[in-house]
Structure 1
Amino acid sequence: MKKIIALTLAVSAIGASSAFAIQPIKGSITYTNPNEVRLTKAPAGSLFTHEFRSDGNHYKELYRVEPNGTVTIVDRQRLDSFDMNDMN
């Protein structure tokens, strides 16, 4: 019985990582075709950011380069919409 419970928990944990993945929004690098974005010169595991506006909000996303060159969204922050350029 303990083996069945342990196996069930392990399978649930594996599936949970994809279930809680951050989904792209309009403006994300991977919004239209996530599998088409491939970086050939960036080492696997490297991180980079991307800032954009979507639906009137300013976002900053953190991406990780996967071993096959595709990119995955690791984090997304909605930034404060106050901008000094709006003052002029």
Structure 2
Amino acid sequence: MKHAFAALSVVLLLSGCTATTGPDISYGYSPNMQPIPGSITYGGQPRTKLKKAPVGSIVPHQFIDSYGRKVYETYIIEPDRSLRLTSRRWAPDFLGFDD
């Protein structure tokens, strides 16, 4: 009985360790990555279409976020000429101001 209770306790503790949905602050790729203020696609797709760039082209973008950190994003041009956000990373903060 003690072993069954211990096993059940471990299972319950580990079940709380599952991933949750929420704001995407991951580095790199995430299938549900959402644009943040400063992203090209924040507030919708850009009004101008990228007509000369081939489909599948990579579009890099960098900006400073609301916390003063440099953000690097990568987009890919889709067949309908829209942009798909594929990766995001922040420049490391060597001064220790970043949480």
What TM-score do the two structures reach when normalised by structure 2?
Answer: 0.57
The alignment-based identity, stated in percent, is 36
Long gaps (5+) in structure 2: 1-29, 95-99
- The structure number with the bigger radius of gyration is 2
Residues 1:54 and 2:91 are matched in the alignment:
no
Residues 1:25 and 2:33 are matched in the alignment:
no
When you count helix as a share of all residues, which structure comes out higher? 1
In the superposition, relative to structure 1, how do residues 35 and 53 fare at CA in structure 2: closer, same or farther (>3 Å)? closer
- Alignment-mate amino acid for residue 29 of structure 1: I
Q: Report SS of the residue matched to 2:85.
A: strand
- Report the equivalent of 2:52: 41
CA RMSD of aligned residues (A): 2.0
What TM-score do the two structures reach when normalised by structure 1?
Answer: 0.64
In the superposition, relative to structure 1, how do residues 37 and 70 fare at CA in structure 2: closer, same or farther (>3 Å)? farther
1:36 Cα offset (Å): 3.6
Residues 1:64 and 2:76 are matched in the alignment:
yes
In the superposition, relative to structure 1, how do residues 35 and 29 fare at CA in structure 2: closer, same or farther (>3 Å)? closer
After superposition, the C-alpha distances for 1:28-67 in whole angstroms (9 at most, x for unaligned) are 0000222645211111111020000011111000000000
After superposition, the C-alpha distances for 1:1-43 in whole angstroms (9 at most, x for unaligned) are xxxxxxxxxxxxxxxxxx9321000000000222645211111
Q: Report SS of the residue matched to 1:29.
A: coil
Structure 1: which 4+ aligned runs deviate by more than 6 Å? none
The alignment of Structure 1 onto Structure 2 pairs a total of residues equal to 64
Identify which of 65, 72, 75 aligns with 2:87: 75
Long gaps (5+) in structure 1: 1-18, 83-88
When you count strand as a share of all residues, which structure comes out higher? 1
